Amino acid sequence: MAPQTVLITGCSSGIGLATAVMLAKDKQSRFKVYATMRNLNSKTKLEEAVGNTLNKTLLIRELDVTKDSTIKSVVDEILRDNGRIDVLVNNAGYMGLDAIDQKSLEWCQKMMDTDYWGVVRVTRAVLPAMKTQKSGRIICVTSMAGIRAVPFFATYSSAKFAVEGFCESMAPMLRDGYNIRVSIVEPGPVQTELITEVMGQPVEEQAEDFPPILKESCIEGLKHLMANDFAVIQGADEIAKVHMDIILSENPHLRYQTSEALTKMAAEKLRDPTTDFLLNVLRK
């Protein structure tokens, strides 16, 4: 049986890298992974991690989710060489502190262009092939910030909410009409270069230009979050394992929280943390 072809965005580090490596090193050789990143100058860490599977079960390609030409190039290559695309993992994204109105609209739009519109672009690029083959898995990495917004991260939370809505809207039709399954993965803090970059910088420095009231609220609020909600940080490999389980599942859920603590947080807002009931909104 031919291996499943998997396209993953944002593989230079963190969750994307961990997922690409885990699938590429699968002992049963069930996957052929196209691990992509915006800048190939950042591929060294992935090359080292994937070892002798490089250019065998894992191929590294350049893909910028804000540029249609790079998306089309990779998708065309996969289809030309394999005839199908079995799995898409929308993982590329970044976060930043904006505290509602302390960053320019241009800054906010740039984040949305990657974190939300990037997901839309890549999903649209793979859908024609998946619809033709009447099968596929689309996994979108959001965040608990897509269920419960994080104070002072308004644009990031908004982007994740948007991805959640995009997935929730298309999941029933794609499942019932084309046998394409959509799943949302909602991690909390994950020990990656991204979280280190954002949370490793002292809050006082990040908020130094904020007006006094907002600055004080931001400093105290983020210290509280880091001491409580961010106190338990998962490893990227834990999230990668969730992705593998979704791909291999015969009947994957619509939503996955990546730890028991996060499921409890989601349950405070959602009556069914898997939200599978939403998949049946088109059925009487």
156 is catalytic: yes
Closest by Cα among 260, 226, 272, 245 to 89:
245
Tell me how far apart the alpha carbons of residues 166 and 158 are, in angstroms, rounded to a whole number: 12
Tell me how far apart the alpha carbons of residues 235 and 231 are, in angstroms, rounded to a whole number: 13
Closest by Cα among 87, 23, 108, 94 to 64:
94
DSSP, collapsed to helix, strand or coil, labels residue 223 as: helix
User: Are 33 and 82 within 8 A, CB to CB?
Assistant: no
DSSP, collapsed to helix, strand or coil, labels residue 83 as: coil
| Residue 260: how many other CB atoms lie within 10 Å | 8
The single residue of 34, 94, 116, 156 carrying the catalytic annotation is 156
Q: How far is CA 21 from CA 5, 18, 32, in A?
A: 14, 5, 11
The residues facing 35 across adjacent strands are 8, 60
Q: How far is CA 79 from CA 30, 85, 102, 141, in A?
A: 18, 7, 44, 24
- Residue reference for tokens 């904020």: 210
Q: How far is CA 251 from CA 150, 236, 270, in A?
A: 31, 24, 21
CA dihedral 7, 13, 18, 24 (to 10 degrees): 50
**DSSP character at residue 272:** S
Active site residues: 156
